[in-house]
Amino acid sequence: MSVANKGFSQRSAWAADQPIGYLMHKALAHPELISLAAGFVDQASLPVEATRSAATALLQSPDMARAALQYGTCAGDDLLRSQILARLRAADGTNAVEPKLEQVVLTAGSNQLLFLLAEALLDPGDIVLCDAPTYFVFMGIVKNMGARAIGIASDEGGMRMDALRVELERLEATRELHKVKAIYVMSSFDNPRAVSLAPERRPQVVEIAKAFSREHLVYVIEDAAYRELRYAGSDAPSVLSHDRACDQVVYAGTFSKSFSPGVRVGFGVLPAPLAAAVLDIKGNFDFGSPHLNQRLVSEAMRLGLYEPHVALLRDVYRGKLAIMLEALDTYLAPLGARYLRPEGGLYVWVELPASVDTAVNAPLFERSVEEGVLYVPGEYFFSHESGVPRSFMRLSFGVQSGERIARGVQGLARAIERTLG
C-alpha cells in the first residue's frame, strides 16, 4: 500500500530544505576535503582534562552523583544559573541591571533557546528584524515558524540604527508594525562576519525597540554566543545591561563555544513573562535539558577549571586567526579579495571581486571542491526578501589545524584564479 501524501504538517514544509544540508552532504561525501565551512570548534583544545576532573568530582560523592543523574527542573540547575548571573555581572560591570534567577533558563545550546523564543513569539507571517547578513540557522528557525526575517543594513559596527529605524517606520506606514516581534542582533563577533555591535548602538537598539513597542512589546534578542572568544580589544557591556526595566531584552549565551559543544549547555536571560512562556513550551518539549551536563559545567566552574580553559581557547584561536589572515593576505588579497580582520569569534568574512559568484550552483564552488576546500557561500546569510549579494563567503578557522587552514586558503586561491580566468 502506498499513500502519496505523508500527512506532514505545514511546519514540516517550512522546516524543510535548509540550505546547509547540501554543504553537510558534500562534507560527508568527501571527508578528504578541508572544510573551512563547518562551525565546529578546535578539536585539540577540547576540555578533556577539565571534563574528567569535573566528572570525577561530581560522581565521587554518591549524593551529588545521584542528584546529577536524576531529573532536574525545567528551568535548570539553580547553582549553574547563579554562576551564570555572577559571570554576567562581572562582564557587564556592577552598575548594570541585575537580572533575577527566575529570568535564567538553561537549554541544550543557545540554539534551543532561539527555537523556544521563536515558538513563544512567532505566528505565521510575523516578522523578525536581523542583520544583513545574519546567522542562517536563526533564519531557518524563523522560516520554520512560517515567519519572515527581514535584513537590516549592517556595517563594521553591526546593525545600523538609522536603517533599523527607517525599516520600522516603513513597516508602520504599511501597517505591518504589529507583526514585528523581535530584533535579533549578535552583539559579539557575529556569525558570519565576526562583527560586534558598536557600544554606542547597544543602548540605542533598546530605545528603538521600546519606541516601536506600540501594540505589543518588540523584544531585542541579543545572541552573545561568541562573547567569550575575544582575542584582541576589550569587551563592552551587553545590550541586556541597557534594559533597565528587564522587560525588553533576551540575552542568549552558551558554553558550546567556550567549553564543549558535546556537553551542550546554553542559557537565556529573559524578561520574566517571556521566561514563563518559554518554560511552558520547554515543559512540553523535554521538561528540562540534561541535568548531568548542567552539573558538569557548574562543577568545572566551581573547581576553577573554566576560566583557564577559556584563556587557553583565546590563545589557540588567536593563533589560528593570525594564520588564516596571513594566508588570506598572501594568497587572496592579490586576487582582489577583501575581508574584515576580526577581534574574536570563529569566522572571517571574505568579499571576492564582483565578477565571482560564490553560490553553490556557480562555478567557484565546484572548483573549490576540486581544489580540496569547502566554504559557506555568503548567500546563505541573507534573507531572500532583502536582496542577496553573491560575492561573499564565510571561512571558519575553528576546527582545522593551522597547517590545513593555510592549505585550504591556498586551494581556494587556485579555485578563484581559475574562475577569474
Question: Which residues, numbered 326-345, are part of the site for a copy of itself (CB under 8 A)?
Answer: none
Nearer to a copy of itself by C-beta: 10 or 95? 10
Q: Kindly state whether residue 1 participates in binding a copy of itself, applying the rule CB under 8 A.
A: yes
Residues 121-140 interacting with a copy of itself (rule: CB under 8 A): 121-123, 126, 137, 140
Residues 55-84 interacting with a copy of itself (rule: CB under 8 A): 55-56, 59, 62, 65-72
Q: Kindly state whether residue 308 participates in binding a copy of itself, applying the rule CB under 8 A.
A: no
Minimum gap (Å) between residue 250 Cβ and a copy of itself: 12
Minimum gap (Å) between residue 296 Cβ and a copy of itself: 8
Query: Which cell numbers hold the place of 43?
Result: 578539536
What letter does residue 40 receive in the DSSP assignment?
P
Minimum gap (Å) between residue 12 Cβ and a copy of itself: 5
What pairing do the DSSP bridges indicate for beta strands 338-339 and 376-377? unpaired
Contact assessment for residue 379 and residue 364, using Cβ atoms and an 8 Å cutoff = no
> Nearest Cα to 259, choosing from 19, 42, 91?
42
From CA 419, how far away is CA 415, in angstroms rounded?
6
Residues 77-116 interacting with a copy of itself (rule: CB under 8 A): 108-109, 111-112, 115
> Nearest Cα to 73, choosing from 32, 97, 105?
105
Residues 152-181 interacting with a copy of itself (rule: CB under 8 A): 181
Residues 284-303 interacting with a copy of itself (rule: CB under 8 A): 284-287, 289-293, 295
Nearer to a copy of itself by C-beta: 238 or 293? 293
| Residue 194, Ramachandran bin (φ over 0: left; ψ between -120 and 50: alpha; else beta) | left
DSSP element (H, E) containing 402? helix 402-420
Task: Collapse the DSSP code of 160 into the 3-class scheme (helix H, G, I; strand E, B; otherwise coil) and give the result.
Answer: coil
Residues 357-416 interacting with a copy of itself (rule: CB under 8 A): none
What is the C-alpha radius of gyration for the chain, rounded to an integer number of angstroms? 22
Nearer to a copy of itself by C-beta: 34 or 350? 34
Bridge partner residues of 150 (DSSP): 129
Piece of the chain touching a copy of itself by CB under 8 A; list 2-10, 311-319, 329-337, 359-367: 2-10
Minimum gap (Å) between residue 245 Cβ and a copy of itself: 7
Minimum gap (Å) between residue 283 Cβ and a copy of itself: 6
Minimum gap (Å) between residue 376 Cβ and a copy of itself: 15
Residue 406: C-alpha distances to residues 44, 56, 106 (Å): 17, 39, 38
From CA 278, how far away is CA 244, in angstroms rounded?
21
Q: Kindly state whether residue 215 participates in binding a copy of itself, applying the rule CB under 8 A.
A: yes
Residues 192-211 interacting with a copy of itself (rule: CB under 8 A): 210
| Residue 74, Ramachandran bin (φ over 0: left; ψ between -120 and 50: alpha; else beta) | alpha
**Is the bond leading into 31 cis (omega within 30 degrees of zero)?**
no
Nearer to a copy of itself by C-beta: 185 or 218? 218
Q: Kindly state whether residue 7 participates in binding a copy of itself, applying the rule CB under 8 A.
A: yes
Among 19, 22, 27, 46, binds a copy of itself (CB under 8 A): 46
Query: Which cell numbers hold the place of 335?
Result: 586576487
Going along 69-110, which residue ranges are E strands? 104-107
> Nearest Cα to 262, choosing from 29, 13, 43?
43
Query: Which cell numbers hold the place of 229?
Result: 572568544
Residue 329: Cβ-neighbour burial (10 angstroms; 0-12, 13-18, 19+): middle
Minimum gap (Å) between residue 74 Cβ and a copy of itself: 9
Nearer to a copy of itself by C-beta: 127 or 332? 127
Among 120, 152, 332, 393, binds a copy of itself (CB under 8 A): 120
Minimum gap (Å) between residue 260 Cβ and a copy of itself: 4
Residues 233-272 interacting with a copy of itself (rule: CB under 8 A): 245, 256, 260-264
Among 176, 280, 326, 417, binds a copy of itself (CB under 8 A): 280
**Binders of a copy of itself: how many residues, by CB under 8 A?**
85
Residue 110: C-alpha distances to residues 98, 248, 255 (Å): 21, 18, 8
